[in-house]
Every structure is written in structure tokens, then in C-alpha cells.
Amino acid sequence: MIRTLLALILLTQAWGGLHAQSAADSIRRMHRKTPVPSTETGVASYYHSKFQGRPTASGEKYDQEKMTAAHNRLPLGTRIKVTNLRNKRSVIVRVNDRLHHRNTRLVDLSRAAAAKLGYIGRGITRVRVEVLKD
């Protein structure tokens, strides 16, 4: 009787371990990074001044005078060329932050980058984002 009970416990633990492993594998598969295209088109916004000095996802403090950006899928440190599709102005910025997960915009730029692209008065604009190869 005791041997049967021990065998049942061992089988249950083994089954639970296998199940947990397969669940972990499926979670890993779900969260695999999908490749980001080298060029994307979407909407850009820019950081509000209240974020000045606050930490970014990279750990550095946000500085509205630097040429930086937030993007949800590109690796931190990636350099990108952002072109305003309304006036064809372009800037090169470095991704150092992430957007809020519910934010549907493609990129959020520093105030300096938004000013060079010429959309400070509008708040948002349509842009093309190109990943630069180092």
C-alpha cells in the first residue's frame, strides 16, 4: 500500500514537472521576438517635458536635448533614421527607452528630435523609421 502511494506521488510529481516544462516552452515560444523590419511606417509623438530627468528603460536619464527615442521592439542602443513624411525632414536617433505597452505609436522621440522634424506644434506626425546598420 505504501509503495503504491509512493509510486503514485512520484508519478504525479513527474507529470507535473513535464507539464510545467511544456508550459514553460510554450510561453517561451509565444514571447519570441518577431523580427522587426528594417523600415516601418507609423505615427511618432514626442516626450512631454515632465519626463525630463526621469530614468529610461536603458537606465540613463531622459534628456529632452539629446537625440533619443522610445521603441517597443528594437533593441536598446539601436540607431534609427526617422523621416517626417509631411516635410521629408530626417534625424538620426538612438533607442534608449520603451513606449507604454498600450501605446499604439511606432516611436516616441525626444523634444530635440521632434523639433528638428518640425512637428512640435502638431504633437504627432507620420514617419518612416529605418534601422541603421553599424
Quick: pLDDT tens for 92-120: 999 999 998 888 899 999 999 999 999 99
pLDDT band at 48 (very low <50, low <70, confident <90, very high): confident
Q: What is the mean pLDDT of the chain?
A: 84
Number of domains, the chain = 2
Residues 64 and 8 in one domain: no
Which of 20-24, 118-122, 125-129 is modeled with the greatest confidence? 125-129
Give me the mean pLDDT over the 73-85 stretch: 96
Residues 52 and 93 in one domain: yes
Q: Which residue range is the domain that position 17 belongs to?
A: 1-32
Residues 25 and 89 in one domain: no
User: Quick check: 128 and 38 in contact, CB under 8 A?
Assistant: no
Give me the mean pLDDT over the 33-60 stretch: 87
Model pTM score: 0.72
Between 74 and 2, where is the model more confident? 74
Residues 60 and 107 in one domain: yes
What CATH number corresponds to the domain at position 116? 2.40.40.10
Q: Which pLDDT score, from 0 to 100, does residue 26 have?
A: 47
Which of 25-34, 62-71, 97-106 is modeled with the greatest confidence? 62-71
Of residues 61, 101, 99, 107, the one with CA closest to residue 80: 107
pLDDT beyond 80 at 57: yes
Residues 55 and 71 in one domain: yes
Residue 123 to residue 36: CA distance in whole angstroms? 25
Residues 82 and 122 in one domain: yes
Residues 59 and 87 in one domain: yes
